[in-house]
Amino acid sequence: MEQGDKLLLWGLLILGAWCGAVSMVEAQGYWETVVNNAGIATMHAAVTHYGNVVLLDRTNVGPSQLNLAPGVCRDNPQDRASTHDCTAHSALFTPGSNDIRPLFVYTDTWCSSGQFDGSGKLVQTGGDADGLMKIRNFSPCGGGGCDWVELDGGLQQGRWYASNQILPDGTQIVVGGRGVGTVEYVPANGRGTYDVPLLYKSNDAQMDNLYPFVHLLPNNQLYIFANRDSILYDWQTNKVVRDYPTIPGEPRNYPSAGSSVLLPLSANADYGNVEVLVCGGAAYGAYMNPAGQTASQTCGRIAPLAAGAGWAMENMPMPRLMGDMILLPTRDVLIINGAGGGAQGWGNAVDPVKTPVLYKPYNAAGARMQTLTGSPIPRVYHSTANLLPDGRILVAGSNTHQFYTLTGYLPTELRIETFSPPYMGANRPTYAAVPGGLKYGGGFTATVKSAGAKNIELNMVSAPFVTHSYAQGQRLLQLEVSAPAAAGAGAYDVASKAPPNAAVAPGGYYMLFPVADGNVGYASWVKMG
């Protein structure tokens, strides 16, 4: 198999029991190493609407193992490690062919943030050193002509460890950052920076308010979570609307590194049954005094638009920090990557957690967690996980060292894997016809091939910017669908309706997945708005 062996991990396949072993494996998912050496460590990752994946590390680490195009070098007198560098610190990965194409990024993107805009352009903000106030754009393409463009105009304040969220008006709000208690907008459109009291209140001795969790709610307001506290924020007036109770347990943001998702929004509830999930974290002080303290084992759920909103707590099967949480096309949540103890930071991770957990939000409390097949490769600090249009999860990165360290305990990880969840069985649906563009509230029909299907869903998933255990801008929408109407040859016409407005689904590209009786097909990219 090209570039790696498929790792069917749930026992050895015995030739005489091949069929039974395969069905056990599929029930738990399977892993494949698709690239043995990507050349760069993947600190940030984002899937473009061409289906390829932007991989991004940082500069100021010296040469990577991926050369830039012949004759292309980065000459930056401000670089701390190598002022003349002919290697790449960003790349474009193409699933299927598994090709890696080097990209050219000039300023330091260490611990930066980002999001796709309505045109599908990746807008990337901040970083460290000469990247602190930079704005960079990547306009994706299907060929070899696209690359990073660094803008002349920058941010109003330096943003290091900030979070971005695209808004209904097409701009992005940039929230917080190291030593920064404000928000700003990109493009600013005449707006300045605005204080957010939560970001000052939550800034403890080890700065547990970095990479705050920011979710756009369908009422056009923002849920912002930092450390252990959270608010409802009106971005149009830049006012705090509501404070929420403190979540029990440990700090949840960088460097304590829990994760968070806005649970799927459904047309069946008029996109109004809103819940936020926060899982994992680290013991307070684990960053300042690294001694391998055990990570948090708890998850909390809150309904931020409900009267009397409070936290409902439950336990994961194992403690975890630095876990990535991914909304799956089945409307479940995958918790993947991470460590059982320590904190984010150089050399602080202990006890890598290699086993993903499937979280089923619609099950009763106590029956929501299922462990899946584990990978042999540890993925801790500076690792990523992204949903691909074919339903697989792309897993890359892991570097708990300041520079590339390819030997010893938890070395810098240059391999790229995919994880195929259990929903990728033999009976996957396909599209015979699907629209490429959707208008708010507009009806459309998709033709789905799936022999004998009893229930078909059309679930629309954004492509987030993933970094530091948080997928910025991630959301999933279960669309309104009619009962499937037989269209012949095992196909069904499914009448549906697009989301009602940009507060439910900000403009841009989404993966529209057909899901038939729990089996997930290959997504089609649709442009919303």
DSSP string computed for 76-129: -TT-SS-SEE-B-SEEEEETTTTEEEEE---S--TT-EEEE-TTSPEEEE--SG
Query: What is residue 425's predicted lDDT score, i.e. its pLDDT?
Result: 85
In this structure, what token pair is assigned to residue 224? 């912002």
Which residue, among 510, 474, 44, has the nearest Cα to 261 in the 3D structure? 474
First to last CA, the chain: 41
* Edge-first strand listing for the sheet containing 393-397: 6-7, 30-35, 416-420, 393-397, 383-387
CATH of 430-528, one of 2.60.40.10, 3.40.720.10, 3.40.920.10, 2.60.40.420: 2.60.40.10
What's the pLDDT score for residue 19? 31
**Res. 241 pLDDT band, cuts 50 70 90:** very high
Q: Are strands 90-94 and 84-85 parallel, antiparallel or unpaired?
A: unpaired
If one compares 419 and 22, the residue with the highest pLDDT of the two is 419
Quick one: average pLDDT of 511-528?
97
Confidence band for 11, pLDDT divided at 50, 70 and 90: very low
State what percent of residues in the chain have pLDDT above 90: 93
User: Considering the chain, what is the average pLDDT of its residues?
Assistant: 94
Give which of 149, 162, 152 is closest to 44, Cα–Cα.
162
pLDDT band at 304 (very low <50, low <70, confident <90, very high): very high
- Using DSSP, state whether 447 is helix, strand or coil: strand
- Is the model's pLDDT at 2 over the cut of 80? no
Residues in the chain: 529
Planar angle of CA 239, 505, 431, nearest 5 degrees: 165
pLDDT over 80 at 21, yes or no: no
**Cβ count within 10 A of residue 439:** 12
Q: Which two tokens stand for residue 124?
A: 């990337």
The secondary structure element, H or E, covering residue 19 is helix 18-28
What tens digit of pLDDT does each residue of 309-364 get?
A: 999 999 999 999 999 999 999 999 999 999 999 999 999 999 999 999 999 999 99
Question: 529 is written with which tokens?
Answer: 């708005």
- Enter the pTM of the model: 0.94
18, 21, 23, 26: CA torsion to nearest 10: -120
| pLDDT of 26 | 52
Confidence at residue 378, expressed as pLDDT on a 0 to 100 scale: 98
Mean pLDDT to the nearest integer, 143-157: 94
- The answer to whether the peptide bond before residue 255 is cis (omega within 30 degrees of 0) is yes
Residue with tokens 């570039």: 3
